[in-house]
Amino acid sequence: MSFLDHLRRCNNADLSQFEPWYVGAERAGFIHRDFAPVLAARPDLFFHRDRAWHLDPTLDTPARRTAVMRTFLLDLRMQGHFAGLWRDEAYPVTWTFGRPALLDMERAAVPWFGVRAFGPHMTGYVRQADGLHIWVPRRSYDKPTFPGALDNTVAGGQPAGIGLLDNLIKECAEEAAIPRALALQAKAVGCVSYWNQSGPQLKPDVMTCFDLELPADFTPRASDGEVHSFELWPARRVFETVRDTTEFKYNCNLVLIDFFVRHGMLSADDPSFVPIVSGLRKEYDPGDEVG
């Protein structure tokens, strides 16, 4: 295992298996060939043209698209789709964060449509006499996804109708009992992006990275049941655990690798330095094979 292995693990998508999905003139996501028959079964909602899928153009407002799509997805849920992962949490469908959403879509369905998801991921750290330490949570063993894996100090998906900072503040309170006044000191320091495929699901996601220096006398506390426990680790231990193992949730490794780069823990003379830094921000190249 290595840092580059984590980058490859996150960026494993084979875009030749997908076709673009458009809402109006904008590409909203990607449809896998194995999921395409689900759309083809609803010609009143979706049509195929020029090697791409399109949403019914008569759905000409975000509100109308959202309502019709929700009904369609609830029908799929009744048919057994989404494997019990339905959240009743809407994500904005937009390729660029901050742009008006084309529609809102149930979180569990987002990767089936290859829609880009966003979210804040925060590294909470402490300065001690022997160097930096990082608060490392272990995910609840009852979580439906990646139970028991290590995670970023605070992280969450980005629901519709809330800004990234306000979402981070909310997640800080819910996941780690970090009070608002302290959470407001978190600094947005960049983002990482990746293209991960799991069968017919695609996650072309962007995570906004935050750093928060926490007081030495503050201890995060699990408060919403999503975190099993927190431990304060020397940053070097986190570095080695990421480098040598798969103990952290797969995409959380990228946020930590970015932290290591920014805090000078990875030598510029390391032959992997440039591929690591460039690989943290994977974007879609129109020259990549699609469809």
pLDDT at 288: 55
Do both 105 and 172 map to the same domain?
A: no
Q: What is the pTM of this model?
A: 0.94
Do both 103 and 233 map to the same domain?
A: no
**Which stretches does DSSP call E strand in 24-98?**
26-32, 46-49, 52-55, 90-93
Do both 83 and 132 map to the same domain?
A: no
Q: End of a domain among 97, 113, 129? A: 113
In a domain, 290, yes or no: no
Do both 93 and 191 map to the same domain?
A: no
Do both 77 and 132 map to the same domain?
A: no
pLDDT at 83: 81
Print the domain residue range for 37: 15-113
In a domain, 284, yes or no: no
Do both 97 and 219 map to the same domain?
A: no
In a domain, 105, yes or no: yes
* Sign of the C-alpha dihedral computed for residues 146, 95, 115 and 105 taken in this order: positive
In a domain, 285, yes or no: no
pLDDT of 224-268, one tens digit each? Answer: 788 999 999 999 999 999 999 999 999 999 999 999 999 999 999
Token pair 């959240």 is at which residue?
Answer: 87
Q: Fill in the amino acid letter for 130.
A: D
pLDDT at 222: 86
Number of structural domains the chain divides into: 2
Do both 137 and 250 map to the same domain?
A: yes
Do both 38 and 173 map to the same domain?
A: no
Do both 8 and 29 map to the same domain?
A: no
Q: Are strands 18-23 and 46-49 parallel, antiparallel or unpaired?
A: unpaired
Give the CA radius of gyration of the chain.
20
In a domain, 287, yes or no: no
In a domain, 108, yes or no: yes
In a domain, 289, yes or no: no
Q: End of a domain among 113, 139, 174? A: 113
Do both 53 and 140 map to the same domain?
A: no
Q: Are strands 206-213 and 118-128 parallel, antiparallel or unpaired?
A: parallel
Q: What is the pLDDT along the chain (291 residues), one digit of tens a residue?
A: 999 999 999 999 999 999 999 999 999 999 999 999 999 999 999 999 999 999 999 999 999 999 999 999 999 999 999 988 999 999 999 999 999 999 999 999 999 999 999 999 999 999 999 999 999 999 999 988 999 999 999 999 999 999 999 999 999 999 999 999 999 999 999 999 999 999 999 999 999 999 999 999 999 998 778 899 999 999 999 999 999 999 999 999 999 999 999 999 999 999 999 999 999 999 865 445 545
CATH of the domain at 172: 3.90.79.10
User: Any long-range contacts for 76-79 (C-beta under 8 Å, 24+ apart)?
Assistant: 76/38, 76/109
Do both 46 and 188 map to the same domain?
A: no
pLDDT at 285: 58
In a domain, 291, yes or no: no
Q: End of a domain among 87, 113, 139? A: 113
Nearest residue to 137 (alpha-carbon basis) of 59, 238, 209, 251: 238
Do both 140 and 274 map to the same domain?
A: yes
CATH of the domain at 32: 3.30.750.160
Cα–Cα dist 80/75, whole Å: 9
Asked if residues 180 and 173 have their Cβ atoms less than 8 Å apart, the reply is: yes
